[in-house]
Structure 1
Amino acid sequence: MPSLSHRLVALALPRLNPPVVITDPERLRAKLVEKNRTRQTTPPAWLAKDFVVTEEWIGTGGGFPVYVATPRSGSFTRTLVHLHGGSYTATAHVRQWKFAAALARRTSARLVFPAYPLAPEFTWRDSVPALTGYVAGLCAEGEVVVSGDSAGGGLALAVALGVRDLVRSGEAPAQPAKLLLIAPWADLTRSAPGTEEAAARDPWLSIENHDTYALFWAGSAADLVLPQVSPALGDLTDLPPTMLLCGTHDMLYAGAEALAARAAAVGWPVVFEIGHGLLHVYPILPVAEARGALKRLAAFVRG
């Protein structure tokens, strides 16, 4: 049975964020573009207590910032790249920063936290190629772990596929050592069997709005099936060991289950941890189950 803290959060979320069905996607598009031009993912002030934070810029057309948080000791054994979720349209939440920083501390890692351009003003084309090249460069320097939650989990897998392809073509020397996928939004076509049933159990995410946000990130219906957008539908061979976590009360659970099945079919080593009765991205929520998830993720990285 989920913990008391989890049950309280499950009750609170739909009250704090009541579901609103999108009836005018173009009006929402304009509203999000205007909103996102006035905000940006930036490191919280408390991160500087344990890390020295610097900023790098990657990409074309002005690019976007990547924040590099190096332990104040100056010593680290690996680099953790965390890609935040938020339907590709929202800046990083403080809980995503807290999760990534805690995981970096537990794994003796330098934390890299990209502030990728947000949809709907931008699409995957403004992020995935740049992040793929950047992560490939990090892999050439040492051990890299790539993690992501929700949309960030889908982005993490898309980047991993891209780096894998660079290694295959001889354009990069190494892949990430591990992947951590937390309730990844990795199939934007909504094709996984059982998606509607999973959505009916989810008190937070709305299946009615799924396709609008998917198209915002893809840019076009034709791009929805591309591996850069829906990496779960791509070639999943020759990928690094991965830990996949998803709760059963999550609209994305059916997609996670399908991804784990595809992984098993092609020999991709994936540890699929099912959170029975748990919410979307529960490892980053203020619930008791998050502590155990963080501990297991850290052990997987160190193992």
Structure 2
Amino acid sequence: MPSALHELYATAIPRLRASRELDSPERERARLERWQAGLDRTLPTRATPRLARHFEVHQRHGGFPVWELTPHTPTDRTVLYLHGGGYVAPIDAMHVRYAARLARHLGARVLMPDYPLTPTHSWRASHEALVDLAAEASSLGPTVLAGDSAGGGMALAVALSQLGRGGARPERLVLLSPWVDLTTSTPATAWFARRDPWLFPGKLEAYARWWAGSDDDLARPEVSPALADLDALADLPPTLMFCGTRDLLLPGARLLARRMHEAKAPLSYVEEPDLIHVYPLLPGLPEARRAWRTTVDFLDS
């Protein structure tokens, strides 16, 4: 049974973020473009006051900004964290806190790309540069590739492209409620849409089309990595994935789990009854603490 704090989050987060279904794709596009034009794209470090004790924060550029959190003790390990937000929202404090926590546990640096957002940009504006970044990190030392929601799908897509190139590969993948099937063709999607208090199918369909750039690209592995060839999935490193059953993205996560099982890929999948989207990120949540213990065991194994 979900905790009382989880139920509070399930009610409060959609209200605080004014979550609702879109009026029309055209109005939603105009709204997002106005909102993104006024965004402050600096890293939200003030919401993570202990960050300076552990890291120096720098910004580097490779076609778009990449935030680098370097620990005071030199290391060759890296956490490459790709943030969620439906491909329309920037990095927020929850992403920074979680990525820094992973890095502190591993004694690693953090790379957080501030990748170009849709609807102005599609996956083509960032994918190859992200694969280059992952390959660079993996060539320097052990690398954990992680992400939540849209960023979880991106992390998987980047890993698949990186493996396709050959050479250095990530050591581990950590995927939190990942968006891995942008075709939303899974039959159960409509049923889970009625249970999810936060995500809405009309928005997901619009954001997916904008991110893909065209309907022809929706099923590409760079966009919908759950639909990649089984041979490609079989080559993935050990992967840990979390998802709750009050999450519109659950059918895609189940599809990925099923296909990775068919491919005999090394996947640990944790599905929590009645929990909402990206619950492992939510501060103070007992269920998030449980997910963290599972993550630590996975990374240390």
Q: TM-score range by the shorter chain?
A: over 0.9
Q: CA deviation at 1:147?
A: 0.3
Tell me the residue number matched to 1:170. none
Secondary structure class of the residue paired with 2:181: coil
| Matched AA of 1:250 | D
Q: CA deviation at 1:158?
A: 0.7
Could you tell me which of 265, 287, 290 is aligned with 1:292? 290
Tell me the residue number matched to 2:274. 277
Q: CA deviation at 1:288?
A: 1.7
CA distance in 1 between partners of 2:279 and 2:21 (Å): 24
Q: CA deviation at 1:29?
A: 1.5
Over residues 68-107 of structure 1, what are the superposed CA-to-partner deviations in whole Å (9 max), with x where a residue is unaligned? 11112x2335211110000000011211111111121122
Q: CA deviation at 1:237?
A: 2.4
Secondary structure class of the residue paired with 1:227: coil
Q: CA deviation at 1:141?
A: 1.0
| Matched AA of 2:142 | E
| Matched AA of 1:220 | S
Instruction: Choose 27-36 or 123-132, whichever is displaced more.
Output: 27-36
Tell me the residue number matched to 1:71. 71
Secondary structure class of the residue paired with 1:148: strand
Tell me the residue number matched to 1:201. 195
| Matched AA of 1:36 | Q
Question: After superposition, where does 1:122-201 map in structure 2 within 5 Å?
Answer: 122-167=121-166, 173-201=167-195
CA distance in 1 between partners of 2:52 and 2:108 (Å): 15
Contact 1:154-1:185 at 8 Å conserved across structures: yes
CA distance in 2 between partners of 1:13 and 1:55 (Å): 30
TM-score (norm 1): 0.92
Q: CA deviation at 1:276?
A: 1.3
After the TM superposition, list the runs of 4 or more consecutive aligned residues in structure 1 that deviate by more than 3 angstroms: none
| Matched AA of 2:293 | K
CA distance in 2 between partners of 1:293 and 1:4 (Å): 17
Over residues 235-255 of structure 1, what are the superposed CA-to-partner deviations in whole Å (9 max), with x where a residue is unaligned? 212111100100011111111
Instruction: Choose 244-253 or 283-292, whichever is displaced more.
Output: 283-292
**Pair 11,23 (structure 1): closer, same or farther in 2 beyond 3 Å:** closer
Tell me the residue number matched to 1:23. 23
Q: Aligned pair count?
A: 293
Q: CA deviation at 1:55?
A: 1.6
Tell me the residue number matched to 2:33. 33
| 5+ residue gaps, structure 1 | 168-172
Tell me the residue number matched to 2:113. 114
1:215 partnered with 2:215: no
CA distance in 2 between partners of 1:52 and 1:155 (Å): 26
Contact 2:239-2:268 at 8 Å conserved across structures: yes
| 5+ residue gaps, structure 2 | none
CA distance in 2 between partners of 1:279 and 1:87 (Å): 15
Contact 2:234-2:263 at 8 Å conserved across structures: yes
Q: CA deviation at 1:16?
A: 2.7
1:248 partnered with 2:242: no
Contact 2:76-2:140 at 8 Å conserved across structures: no
Tell me the residue number matched to 2:257. 260
Instruction: Choose 129-138 or 34-43, whichever is displaced more.
Output: 34-43
Could you tell me which of 19, 39, 52 is aligned with 1:48? 52
Instruction: Choose 22-31 or 275-284, whichever is displaced more.
Output: 22-31
Q: CA deviation at 1:273?
A: 0.5
Q: CA deviation at 1:293?
A: 1.1
Q: CA deviation at 1:28?
A: 2.1
Secondary structure class of the residue paired with 1:201: coil
**Pair 30,36 (structure 1): closer, same or farther in 2 beyond 3 Å:** same
Contact 1:43-1:67 at 8 Å conserved across structures: no
TM-score (norm 2): 0.93
Could you tell me which of 220, 226, 230 is aligned with 2:224? 230
Q: CA deviation at 1:44?
A: 0.9
Instruction: Choose 4-13 or 261-270, whichever is displaced more.
Output: 4-13
Q: CA deviation at 1:17?
A: 3.6
CA distance in 2 between partners of 1:30 and 1:11 (Å): 27
